[in-house]
Amino acid sequence: MNSWTLYPASRFGEFQNAWQHLNQEGKNSALLDPAFLAPALQLFGTGKEQLAILGGSTPSAMALLRPTGVRGWETFQPSQCPLGFWVCHPSLPWQAVFPSLLQSLPGFPVVVGITQQDPDIFPRPSPSRTLKTLDYIQTARITLQGTFDAYWQARGKNLRANMKKQRNSLTKLGLTPRMEILTQAQDMDQAVRDFGQLESTGWKNDQGTAIHRENPQGQFYTRILENFCAQGKARVYRYWFDDVVTAMDLCIADESSLIILKTAYNEQASHGTSPAFLMHQESFQHLFEENTLSRIEFYGKVLEWHTRWTDEIRTLYHVN
């Protein structure tokens, strides 16, 4: 087995093709695509990050790492990124590559953590003397199999009745809901501005965590959406009541999955309804009928509202 080599993460651009090759050898996740990773590193990196590469011109594993604590390292993990930045050839087990990584890092570290891993991308390893795993969160998905009508009939009676009641309420108010799907790069700047306006109407504005086009969060989502538009793999769902934007989803896709990165809705223009739920009913129906993808991924921590839409839940994990 070849040894690990470390490079300043600022040199990631030199190795991004090798990184993407490893990603494509596996599940080819959009969340591990350089189009997602590079803006995160540029906007949220501190300059202390290291790119670890196992092998020579054709690497068998790569990781983007940062120092943590006195004698520890972990994968670069901004809060905007659902998965830790690790790629590995699918034929290599964790036990074959992980222990040697710890030995290669500077500062005589006692621990290295590969955080927030998806067992559907990299199967969770069995614990051993040199490797442990830890539950992170449960996350949800919807499999796009069969018809939307069959999927919808399998949902709870309360959800189906509530959606019908809300649509009737909008009709009585003389409001017309409609969904718009944005896929062009030139629309992403305004889309993120609109999304920021939605977040500014709610609790995230009070806590200072709302997206704004000028802050790093806003710049990050604008860049990744534009990057994925160039691949034909970005979608922004924008939901209107007449001429007022009431809900939005920011999404990217890979070959099999649509990943909902962020959802926001206008709390001040909801008229007693749930605009995000109404949008999801229509967007999910569109995805079933479009029949080009296999899954809708949420990747956030499972909340009660997720369980109204799906019972497909799995556990993300850490390795250390």
Q: Which of 137, 158, 185 is the last residue of a domain?
A: 137
Contact yes or no for 187/178 (Cβ under 8 A): no
Same domain, 173 and 225: yes
The domain tally of the chain equals 2
Same domain, 201 and 221: yes
Beta strands in the chain (DSSP E): 4-8, 50-54, 61-68, 72-75, 86-88, 111-117, 133-143, 177-182, 234-241, 244-253, 257-265, 295-297, 312-319
Q: Which of 115, 137, 159 is the last residue of a domain?
A: 137
The rounded distance, in Å, linking the Cα atoms of 102 and 79 is: 24
Same domain, 103 and 190: no
pLDDT at position 209 is 61
pLDDT, block means (10 residues), the chain with 320 residues: 90 97 97 98 96 92 93 95 97 90 89 96 93 97 97 97 97 96 97 93 58 89 98 98 96 97 92 96 98 96 97 97
Task: For residue 315, tell me if it sits in a domain.
Answer: no
pLDDT at position 201 is 77
Same domain, 158 and 84: no
Task: For residue 306, tell me if it sits in a domain.
Answer: no
pLDDT at position 267 is 85
Half-sphere exposure of 126 (CA within 13 A, CB side): 1
Residue type, position 195, single letter:
F
Task: For residue 229, tell me if it sits in a domain.
Answer: yes
Same domain, 77 and 35: yes
Burial 219-232 (b: 16+ CB within 10 A, else e): bbbbbbbbbbbeee
Same domain, 215 and 276: yes
Q: Which of 137, 157, 180 is the last residue of a domain?
A: 137
pLDDT at position 49 is 97
Same domain, 126 and 181: no
Task: For residue 303, tell me if it sits in a domain.
Answer: no
* Rg, C-alpha atoms of the chain: 21
pLDDT at position 204 is 53
Same domain, 206 and 250: yes
Task: For residue 309, tell me if it sits in a domain.
Answer: no
Task: For residue 187, tell me if it sits in a domain.
Answer: yes
Same domain, 191 and 71: no
Same domain, 14 and 132: yes
- Domain range holding 276? 145-293
CATH number of residue 260's parent domain:
3.40.630.30
Same domain, 41 and 110: yes
Same domain, 61 and 129: yes
pLDDT at position 237 is 98
DSSP symbol at 268: G
Task: For residue 313, tell me if it sits in a domain.
Answer: no
pLDDT at position 65 is 97
Task: For residue 270, tell me if it sits in a domain.
Answer: yes
